[in-house]
Amino acid sequence: MRTCSCIYESEINKENKFYTLSQNTAMADDGSGAGSQVALVTGGYDHTIKLWQAHSGVCLRTMQHPDSQVNGLEISPTGQMVAACGYQHIRLYDLASANPDPVVNFEGITKNVSRVGFQKDDLWMYTGGEDWTARIWDPRALPQFSCTKIFQVQAPVNAVMLHPDQTQIMVGDQSGIIHMWDLRTDQNEQLIPEAEASIQDIAIDPEGKMMAAVNNKGNCYVWSLGGSAPHPVPLKHIVAHSKYALRCKFSLDSTMLVTTSGDCSAKVWRTSDWSLLRELRNETQRWVWDAAFSIDSRYLFTGSSDSYARLWDVEKGTLEREYCGHQKAITALAFRDQTV
Amino acid sequence: MAGEDFSKIFQNKSIEEKNRIRDGRLNQPGPSKGKDAMGDISEEDVEKEIVTRFDPYPDMDDSEDDDPLCDSYVRNDPGFGGRYDRNRTNTGQWLDKKEQALKKAAKIKIIKWEDSSPLTADQLAEAFSKCEVKKPEKTKSLLTQQLQNCPNLPHRQYLEYAKFDGTAQLGLPIKSFKIFMTMLPEKHQNYPLVVCVIASAKIKDLIGFTCYKYSIEHPDISLGSVHDYGLCIAEDDGEVDWAFPCLDANEPCSKFGFTCLGLIELKNKTTLCPAPMPIPEDGMSGAFHVFPKAENSSHSNQNPSRLNTGDSSTSEAVISALKALNEGEPDLNKIQSHIMATEAPQYKAYKVQLLRKVRTNTSVQLGISLDRIEVEPLVTNKHAFWSRSKYFLHSIDSVAWCQILETRGNRTTFRIVYSPSHNATYNDRISTGQNTYIFHPNTAYKIQDFETDHEVAKEIVEKVNTILDLRNSPCRREYKTAKDKKLQTRRSFHTKHLS
């Protein structure tokens, strides 16, 4: 399996040798960007993707995302690439180079792609979109062996989330159904937490023990996974927001769940008792579209409609940094931290 | 793309049509010309002549045609005569663009969606094997470490301007400027800052973005508020053109054609360009009959060009003349005081150093006459206008005091105390700056300290004091009274305590 991912990487590297070289000289010293270590990437309605130096708030690079807003961003497991999905487009950008254009374009989609993610060894990529499908893409595109897969549902797909065991994808759609798609058997199981409420996002904690989903009514549902029961067991229902919820994410230590919403706030919940730990609000921030925790679960990034991304100290509830540069709303962000 | 398809359709149609016409012509037996004449016309010529209704107009060569072959034809064809140049540039540009787009596209790997054939059990197991989910270890975050190492971010105050960055904007018109940071000390002036903003940004946004960019590149240099700065037209070498006002902060920068601009401090702008100002003529001629006005004095030494007289050449000449007259018993002190009294009202300029608390001392010309004291910055380096101090003009009636402070070596510092509130006519010219308020809470006195040679300092202080005593203005009287009172209270305080 490792060899497969190596082939993919080396192929990419071969193709972009020029960029990789130029990057090494350009970004060797700032400790951010690429081979780097800490990378914050944001994208939104202004058709650009920006790479930030997270600790200083300085924008290092702007990448072009023509013809579409950015619905979702995900940094590849190696940290070399960032995947962006939007209307009719899924693109891979090389974080390690100074190339403002994508290096890989995935074609054949006619509608909005809402989410993108990677298998943990970079073997394949998964997406979900408004064409009522979830898909597995094989970026290697080898003629002899391709592991592409498609999963059809009965409504536009808003959320896809890969289980940490890498064999199951949770597909949340606008009709309010969560399909648990087993990649090995193509069987699926359905969960309907609330009738006539569109599923907006799904999160599974890094230990694979909890699954959370938020819907357009602002409700958050939590299930426990992988217990003695073979199916998810409802754990908690939180009335998280008064309006549209947009994202939910667990912290790496599984002690916190963040939900973001159209009510202009991001809320951090304790997973121990599901009490509210922090409500992160800013007068100007408007809709909060996306969020990401730092690796030590101490900091949280949010991206919002006022075109700012923000960094919050979760413990103190203080605003630590602001990232300004986008012309329009930030609708997606991805963060990759590094251990020391 | 629809456009592409149509052009191809038309191309094919025109080829078909041409073939049809050519076949018709070739097969048509010429009524008079016969075979010989026909032999002269090669097939190519026929083709050239035949223009079908599907052929593009020659003018449309630089249209949105997507076939690069078409244009290479246009580019190499010298037969376009007068229109050749225009066509070449337009088409050339278009070709370059096209070439770049193609190059760009060639670098992007395209992966098309393909439904795969069912995978074998082995392949399935390989691609979708189950991973063991481990509890992530508690780790230290590099981000946290970096945040701790970089607590101060000077550019944060200008953050809101970051969004005007013009680099890597998609589809937005942009504009680049060379900005000279003329308000900074000379050592930070080596290179202009090249900034690129979106064209719709206003001048104030450009100022803000310039501050933002500069503070990122030079976090050690602190800049002031965006509202304190203005942008002026500058030469290529950074010399600001002071004759023009600052660009209107509310206008979009796309409106201006200049690419070299100087960032200046707004308060410098007003003091550095003194407009010709009226000097009050009345009020003194009546009061001081004894001393004719410097301007009218027959032996006036007024120097309209204000030459720097570092030494007191005039008085020396007079002294030597008097010496010659009274060779027997030269009472120099007496003579000098006499000279001082007679010469005091005359305009005289001295080159001295203006002492400043914050920045370096600057050379100024101190011009003293019966009715005013001027502090005019001397330009040693024509680029160094940031180190120029402001231009001051004190009415002599606003000057309250002048004294020597201390002597170090052959350098002596002296102080002029003045009150802006007594300076009604000049008030708006005088800015606060580094001056400190002393004494009376109602009447604010400000000080200016200067340094020069001991002899010159002595001469200046004596000259000023002579004039002050002559005029005995309300300002001076108030100051003296306040000073005496203060001395007395101090004394009485002491005596009370002692007794």
Q: Give the whole-angstrom CA distance, residue B269 versus residue B275.
A: 11
Q: Is A286 left (phi over 0), alpha (psi -120 to 50) or beta?
A: left
The secondary structure of A240-269, three-state, reads: CCCCCEEEEEECCCCCEEEEEECCCEEEEE
Query: From the list B111, B160, B169, which residue is nearest A107 (CB)?
Result: B111
| Chain A residues within an 8 Å CB radius of B118 | none
Interface contact B108-A47, CB threshold 8 A: no
A217/chain B closest Cα distance in angstroms: 32
Domains of chain A, each with CATH number or no CATH: 4-336 (2.130.10.10)
A147/chain B closest Cα distance in angstroms: 7
Q: Average pLDDT, stretch B263-271? A: 69
Helix/strand/coil for B215: helix
pLDDT band at B24 (very low <50, low <70, confident <90, very high): low
Q: Please report the number of interchain residue pairs, chain A to chain B, with beta-carbon separation below 8 angstroms.
A: 179
- Flag whether pLDDT at A323 surpasses 60: yes
- Flag whether pLDDT at B25 surpasses 80: no
Q: Give the whole-angstrom CA distance, residue A124 versus residue A148.
A: 8
If one compares B340 and B219, the residue with the highest pLDDT of the two is B219
- Taken in order A321, A327, A330, A332, the sign of the CA dihedral is negative
B427 φ/ψ angles, rounded to the nearest 5 degrees: -50, -50
pLDDT band at B332 (very low <50, low <70, confident <90, very high): low
- Flag whether pLDDT at A55 surpasses 80: yes
Residue A71: the pLDDT is: 94
The amino acid that residue A74 corresponds to is E
Q: How far is CA A217 from CA A159, A204, A270, in A?
A: 16, 20, 21
- Taken in order B54, B58, B63, B68, the sign of the CA dihedral is positive
- Flag whether pLDDT at B381 surpasses 50: yes
Q: Give the whole-angstrom CA distance, residue B1 versus residue A305.
A: 34
For chain A, say whether B82 makes contact (Cβ under 8 Å).
Answer: no
User: Minimum mean pLDDT among A32-36, B104-108, B156-160: which range?
Assistant: A32-36
Return the residue matching tokens 């939910």.
Answer: A248
Q: Which residues of B, range 116-155, sit inside 8 Å of A by Cβ?
A: 116, 119, 123-133, 135-136, 138-147, 149-150, 153, 155
pLDDT band at A83 (very low <50, low <70, confident <90, very high): very high
Residue A134: the pLDDT is: 92
Query: From the list A46, A55, A120, which residue is nearest B146 (CB)?
Result: A55
For chain A, say whether B438 makes contact (Cβ under 8 Å).
Answer: no
In percent, how much of chain B has pLDDT > 90?
0
Question: Pairing relation of β-strands A233-239 and A219-224?
Answer: antiparallel
Return the residue matching tokens 């970096």.
Answer: B146
If one compares B154 and A71, the residue with the highest pLDDT of the two is A71
Interface contact A107-B113, CB threshold 8 A: yes
The amino acid that residue B317 corresponds to is A
Residue B304: the pLDDT is: 36
Q: Which of B234, B187, B231 is nearest to B206 (CA)?
A: B231
Residue A118: the pLDDT is: 93
pLDDT band at A301 (very low <50, low <70, confident <90, very high): very high
Tokens encoding A262: 């159209």
If one compares B71 and A54, the residue with the highest pLDDT of the two is A54
Residue A287: the pLDDT is: 92
Q: Average pLDDT, stretch B196-205? A: 87
Interface contact B216-A31, CB threshold 8 A: no
Tokens encoding B156: 């944060």
Number of H-type helices and E-type strands within chain A: 2, 28
Nearest CA in chain A to B148: A55
- Evaluate whether A170 touches A179 at the Cβ level (below 8 Å): yes
HSE (side-chain half, CA atoms, 13 Å) at B56: 20
| Chain B residues within an 8 Å CB radius of A108 | 112-114
Q: Which of A338, A321, A329, A326 is nearest to A290 (CA)?
A: A329
- Flag whether pLDDT at A80 surpasses 50: yes
For chain A, say whether B332 makes contact (Cβ under 8 Å).
Answer: no
Q: Calculate the average pLDDT of chain A.
A: 84
User: Minimum mean pLDDT among A324-333, B198-207, B326-335: which range?
Assistant: B326-335
Q: Give the whole-angstrom CA distance, residue A181 versus residue A175.
A: 16
Interface contact A165-B132, CB threshold 8 A: yes
In percent, how much of chain B has pLDDT > 70?
56
In percent, how much of chain A has pLDDT > 90?
51
Residue B337: the pLDDT is: 61
- Flag whether pLDDT at B55 surpasses 80: no
| Chain A residues within an 8 Å CB radius of B198 | 327
Q: Which of B437, B306, B314 is nearest to B374 (CA)?
A: B306
Within 8 A by CB and 6+ apart from B13, the residues are B52, B54
Query: From the list A48, A104, A141, which residue is nearest B108 (CB)?
Result: A104
Length of chain A: 340
Interface test with B, best of A81, A97, A166, A333 (most B CBs within 10 A): A166
- Flag whether pLDDT at B15 surpasses 70: no
Q: Calculate the average pLDDT of chain B.
A: 67
* Angle separating helix axes A2-15 and A17-27, nearest 10 degrees: 80
Q: Average pLDDT, stretch A170-185? A: 91
Q: Average pLDDT, stretch B340-365? A: 76
- Flag whether pLDDT at B71 surpasses 60: no
Q: Give the whole-angstrom CA distance, residue A244 versus residue A219.
A: 8
Long-range CB contacts (< 8 A, 24+ apart) of B296-301? B297/B345, B297/B346, B300/B346, B300/B347, B301/B343, B301/B346, B301/B347, B301/B348
Query: How buried is residue B85: exposed, middle or buried, by Cβ count under 10 Å (0-12/13-18/19+)?
Result: exposed
Q: Is the ipTM of this complex over 0.85?
A: no
Q: Average pLDDT, stretch A192-221? A: 92
Helix/strand/coil for B422: helix
Interface contact A120-B131, CB threshold 8 A: yes
Residue B380: the pLDDT is: 57
Q: Average pLDDT, stretch A169-182? A: 92
Q: Give the whole-angstrom CA distance, residue A231 versus residue B96.
A: 60
Nearest CA in chain B to A110: B113
- Flag whether pLDDT at B421 surpasses 50: yes
- Evaluate whether A336 touches A96 at the Cβ level (below 8 Å): no
Tokens encoding B92: 């050339």
If one compares A255 and B59, the residue with the highest pLDDT of the two is A255
pLDDT band at B17 (very low <50, low <70, confident <90, very high): low
Residue B268: the pLDDT is: 62
Q: Which of A270, A271, A276, A267 is nearest to A312 (CA)?
A: A267
Q: Which of A308, A227, A266, A262 is nearest to A42 (CA)?
A: A308
Residue B57: the pLDDT is: 42
Q: Give the whole-angstrom CA distance, residue A112 versus residue A158.
A: 10
Interface contact A15-B107, CB threshold 8 A: yes
pLDDT band at A126 (very low <50, low <70, confident <90, very high): very high
Buried b (16+ CB within 10 A) or exposed e, B35-66: eeeeeeeeeeebeeebeeeebeeeeebbeebe
- Flag whether pLDDT at A76 surpasses 80: yes
- Taken in order B424, B426, B432, B437, the sign of the CA dihedral is negative
Residue B62: the pLDDT is: 40
- Evaluate whether B464 touches B416 at the Cβ level (below 8 Å): yes
List, for residues B73-118, the tens digit of each pLDDT value: 333 334 343 344 455 677 778 888 888 888 877 788 888 888 777 7
- Flag whether pLDDT at A269 surpasses 90: yes
Max Cα–Cα distance, chain A, nearest Å: 55
Q: Is B274 left (phi over 0), alpha (psi -120 to 50) or beta?
A: beta
Interface contact A298-B144, CB threshold 8 A: yes
- Evaluate whether A296 touches A288 at the Cβ level (below 8 Å): no
Within 8 A by CB and 6+ apart from A338, the residues are A36, A37, A38, A295, B141, B142, B143
Within 8 A by CB and 6+ apart from B487, the residues are none
Q: Average pLDDT, stretch A235-244? A: 90
Residue A143: the pLDDT is: 65
Q: Which of A184, A136, A127 is nearest to A156 (CA)?
A: A127
Q: Average pLDDT, stretch B128-155? A: 82
Nearest CA in chain A to B219: A56
- Taken in order B463, B467, B473, B478, the sign of the CA dihedral is positive
Interface contact A105-B109, CB threshold 8 A: yes
- Flag whether pLDDT at A270 surpasses 80: yes
- Flag whether pLDDT at B270 surpasses 50: yes
Length of chain B: 499
If one compares B324 and A23, the residue with the highest pLDDT of the two is B324
Range with the largest mean pLDDT of A23-27, A64-68, B184-188: A64-68
In percent, how much of chain A has pLDDT > 70?
88
Within 8 A by CB and 6+ apart from B15, the residues are none
- Flag whether pLDDT at A59 surpasses 80: yes
The helix (H) or strand (E) run that includes residue A52 is: strand A48-53
Q: Average pLDDT, stretch A174-183? A: 91
